[in-house]
Every structure is written in structure tokens, then in C-alpha cells.
């Protein structure tokens, strides 16, 4: 199987050595957008290192998908909100802390046409869905809950507004309302509450 690993030219991905240790894997490392557009092994799986940043990964995906359909994943992902957006863009899987066993499981799932998500990631997603229907989060609106989860992941108000396609004023208002409803005063309290309820790693 051909694996195409796209990582930063500044910081080489530690995942390269991981792929090289696997049997029946041919690894191709590239860094530039032009390389992926002209690449021969288009039947291979494409792994984007999350260190590239969401904007760059999104740009490359959108440009490449104009050429043909591809199977792609994100590796070394740590941000839940960004991971959800990658899935919405069509990612076949998300790897947060890749090891040989996880990568092998991932490749097997993808080869069978399945979506691959790590158990810990699935648990957080499930808890987020469940917890928003229970106290204390039940008293929040859907938008306020989204803002709470993003604040817990240390997003700025500006970044939250951009990700949720709302104004910064709306994001600020949501922050004020959720703090009032949950009786919390600062960012540290938001983080602690989210951690307590298993909404973040």
C-alpha cells in the first residue's frame, strides 16, 4: 500500500518513522501543494499531519478534490473541534496519538470502507452529545454549548466566531450567558468543568 504523508517543511512529522516500520507499506513524504497535484500514486492513502494547520489542509483538500476523489486522514490531531470539521470535509479517519497498532487498525478499517476514529475520540464525541442534554449543560442553548466546548479547547472569541460563522459580538454574548448560567467566572473554570465532565482530553 502506498502512503502519502504530507507534513510541514519546517517540522518533519515523527509519524514518518512509524510508517516506515510497518510491513507492506511504501511511504512517500511530500510537503508542497504542487507535489500532491502531480503525484503518481493517487490510489494511495493520504495522511495530513495536523501540524500543517487546518487552513492549509483544507486548501489542499479542496484543490486536490477538484482533480479526483481521494481517501485522506489527519494524523497527530489534538483539537476536537478541528477534527469534527475534518470529518465534515470528508476525512476517512482521525488519529490523535498514533502508534503501530493504531495505524494498523486504521489501515484495516479504511481498506474495508469504514471510518476510523480512536476509542477515546469517540468517547468524547459521545459524551458531548449526552452531556448537553443533562445538567448543568442542559440549561445552555445549542450555540452556547458549542462556544463552551470551544472555549474549553482554548479557542479565542475571534476564532470561535470564524469557526461557527457568527459575529464576534454573538460569540461574546454566548460566553457571557454560559458563564452566568454555569456560574463560572473565568477561562480556567471553563477548562476544569469541561475536564470534569470528559468533554476534552
Which 8-state DSSP code applies to residue 27?
A: E
Same domain, 108 and 26: yes
Q: Is residue 169 part of a domain?
A: yes
**Domain boundary pick from 117, 134, 161:** 117
| CATH number reported for the structural domain that contains residue 52 in this entry | 3.40.50.2300
3-state secondary structure at position 140: coil
pLDDT recorded at residue 34: 60
Same domain, 51 and 106: yes
List of residues 6+ apart from 31 with CB closer than 8 A: 6, 7, 8, 9
**Domain boundary pick from 58, 91, 117:** 117
Is it the case that residue 4 has pLDDT exceeding 90? no
Q: What is the mean pLDDT of the chain?
A: 89
Q: Is residue 149 part of a domain?
A: yes
* Domain with 147 in it: 122-196
If pLDDT is split at 50, 70 and 90, which confidence band does 12 have?
A: low
Same domain, 97 and 131: no
Per-residue pLDDT tens for 101-138?
Answer: 999 999 999 989 999 999 999 999 999 999 999 999 99
d(CA 41, CA 69): 13
If pLDDT is split at 50, 70 and 90, which confidence band does 27 have?
A: confident
pLDDT recorded at residue 13: 65
Tally of structural domains, the chain: 2
Per-residue pLDDT tens for 148-179?
Answer: 999 999 999 999 999 999 999 999 999 999 99
Same domain, 24 and 110: yes
Same domain, 79 and 138: no
Which 8-state DSSP code applies to residue 52?
A: G
If pLDDT is split at 50, 70 and 90, which confidence band does 26 have?
A: confident
- Cell for 59? 486548501
Same domain, 70 and 143: no
Q: Is residue 100 part of a domain?
A: yes
Q: Is residue 79 part of a domain?
A: yes
Same domain, 36 and 71: yes
Q: Is residue 201 part of a domain?
A: no
Same domain, 112 and 132: no
Same domain, 84 and 144: no
d(CA 150, CA 156): 8
pLDDT recorded at residue 63: 81
Same domain, 18 and 113: yes
- Sign of the CA dihedral with 30 first, then 120, 201, and 17 last: negative
**Domain boundary pick from 117, 139, 168:** 117
Same domain, 170 and 108: no
Same domain, 99 and 141: no
Amino acid at each position: 500500500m502506498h502512503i502519502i504523508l504530507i507534513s510541514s517543511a519546517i517540522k518533519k512529522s515523527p509519524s514518518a518513522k512509524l510508517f516506515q516500520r510497518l510491513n507492506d507499506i511504501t511511504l512517500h513524504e511530500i510537503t508542497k501543494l504542487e507535489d500532491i497535484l502531480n503525484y503518481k500514486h493517487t490510489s494511495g492513502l493520504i495522511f495530513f499531519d495536523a501540524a500543517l494547520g487546518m487552513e492549509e489542509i483544507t486548501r489542499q483538500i479542496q484543490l486536490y478534490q477538484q482533480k479526483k476523489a481521494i481517501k485522506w486522514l489527519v494524523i497527530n490531531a489534538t483539537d476536537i473541534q478541528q477534527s469534527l470539521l475534518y470529518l465534515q470535509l470528508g476525512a476517512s479517519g482521525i488519529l490523535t496519538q498514533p502508534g503501530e497498532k493504531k495505524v494498523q487498525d486504521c489501515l484495516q478499517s479504511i481498506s474495508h470502507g469504514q471510518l476510523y476514529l480512536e476509542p477515546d475520540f469517540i468517547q468524547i464525541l459521545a459524551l458531548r452529545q449526552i452531556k448537553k442534554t443533562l445538567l448543568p449543560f442542559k440549561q445552555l442553548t445549542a450555540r452556547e454549548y458549542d462556544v463552551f466546548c470551544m472555549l474549553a479547547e482554548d479557542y479565542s472569541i475571534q476564532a470561535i466566531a470564524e469557526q461557527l460563522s457568527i459575529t464576534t459580538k454573538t460569540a461574546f454574548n454566548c460566553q457571557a450567558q454560559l458563564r452566568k448560567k454555569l456560574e463560572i467566572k473565568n477561562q480556567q473554570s471553563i477548562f476544569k468543568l469541561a475536564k470534569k465532565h470528559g468533554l476534552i482530553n
